[in-house]
Amino acid sequence: MFDTETEVVDYCKYIVKCLADENYCELESKGILEIVPEEDLKRVLKEYDKDKKITMPREKQFWERIDIIKYNNQTGYTVDIDVFLDNELSDLTLQVELLHNGKVTIEDLHVL
């Protein structure tokens, strides 16, 4: 799983879409919230700006510019994704780890 950067980007789109739809149950069921649970994500968003919600980036080129770092040991990737709130770029960054064995986790949501 996740043999190409295209597959990595597609799965990152899925994660951001779930966050935008506030579909935390879906992410939880796949183990994606194992490290950073729903409560922590909501807390960071509330502290940043309680009135705004995550939205999907509108421009197609956005996904071509995300930071994808391939691990030297060939086990997977870490990805930094700029977060859009109410269709505007924020200072928040979502960090996701995607391993070749199929394990995916949100590692952090922080101000960069």
With pLDDT > 70 as the criterion, what percentage of the chain qualifies?
A: 100
Residue 112: pLDDT over 90: no
Q: Is the CB of residue 54 less than 8 Å from the CB of residue 16?
A: yes
pLDDT in tens, 28-42: 999 999 999 999 999
Average pLDDT score over the chain: 95
Concatenate the DSSP letters of all residues of the chain into one string: ---SHHHHHHHHHHHHHHHHTT-HHHHHHTTTTSSS-HHHHHHHHHHHHTT--EE----GGGGGSSEEEE-TTSSEEEEEEEEEETTEEEEEEEEEEEETTS-EEEEEEEE-
pLDDT in tens, 55-106: 999 887 899 999 999 999 999 999 999 999 999 999 999 999 999 999 999 9
